[in-house]
Amino acid sequence: MTLSRLLIGAGLLVNLAACAGSPAVQGLEATSRTLGPFVYYEEGSQVLITVGTNATRQRPEEPYFPIEIGMANKQHRDVIRVTREMFAIQVADSEQIPVATAADVIAGYRPTSADRILFNSRQWTGMYFDRYRPVPSRFYPNSQRRVGLVQEMVELGSGTFFEDILYFKNPGFSLSGQTLRLLIYLRAGEDPIAVTFNVE
């Protein structure tokens, strides 16, 4: 399976903004709502998803770029199983960048430890996520010295959340000033959740 899906028993009801950005695309829609500087979010009746770009804007021309991600299972009774492969970045109307593998990031990108220092979304997302129970998540290692310490899946029970960093391959141009869209694929045949954000 090229894209893992969240395994849930019922459809998630989420109103989503849809938007993409690249030098070749014009007339794009507005970004998602913001919680604070460089933090965007979409929220429905059952899930809350946040995207932080403080680390992203520091790496506009690196081979890979980081995205801070947060997700809460607000009230769904079934466990939501989250994997790396359910995420993609859209940079144009039809162009999607799949999430990078841990092996690719380890081999081609060095400042993973520094990225976690730049992870500052919590000061803005705390007012939302503090009502849920935290679940550990580490889709990528802290550094090249800790290659084996990664998770392949995060399980979100009802009333839990996780925060982590995702990596994507640079699309071939500077990200500064670009509008991008994070896609979160739930199930086959359904539209993804989309969080649209600027790299300022």
Q: Strand, helix or coil at 67?
A: strand
Number of domains the chain is built from: 1
Indicate whether 27 pLDDT > 60: no
Q: Is residue 2 part of a domain?
A: no
Q: Is residue 116 part of a domain?
A: yes
Pair 121, 87: CB distance under 8 Å: no
Q: Tell me how far apart the alpha carbons of residues 30 and 105 are, in angstroms, rounded to a whole number.
A: 31
Mean pLDDT value across the chain: 80
Per-residue pLDDT at 111 = 79
Domain that holds residue 57: 33-198
Residue at token pair 């550990």: 136
- Identify whether 101 is part of a domain: yes
Give the DSSP letter string of 122-185: HHHHHHHHTTSEE----SS-SSGGGTT---SEEEE-TTEEEEEEEEEE--SS--TT-EEEEEE-
Looking at the predicted structure, is the pLDDT value of residue 37 above 50? Answer: yes
Going 99 to 155 to 118 to 37, the CA torsion angle's sign is positive
150-178: pLDDT as tens digits: 899 999 999 999 999 999 999 999 999 99
Element (H, E) at 190: none
Q: What is the mean pLDDT of residues 195-199?
A: 94
- Does 20 fall in a domain? no
Average pLDDT over residues 82-104: 90
Domain contains 37: yes
Average pLDDT over residues 173-187: 90
Tell me whether residue 130 is in a domain.
Answer: yes
CATH code of the domain in which 64 resides: 2.60.40
The three-state secondary structure class of 37 is: coil
More confident residue, 82 or 2: 82
Asked if pLDDT for residue 3 goes beyond 50, the answer is no
Higher pLDDT, 114 or 93: 114
The model's pTM? 0.80
Whether residue 9 is contained in a domain is answered as no
Output the pLDDT for position 75.
78
Strand partners for 39: 36, 52
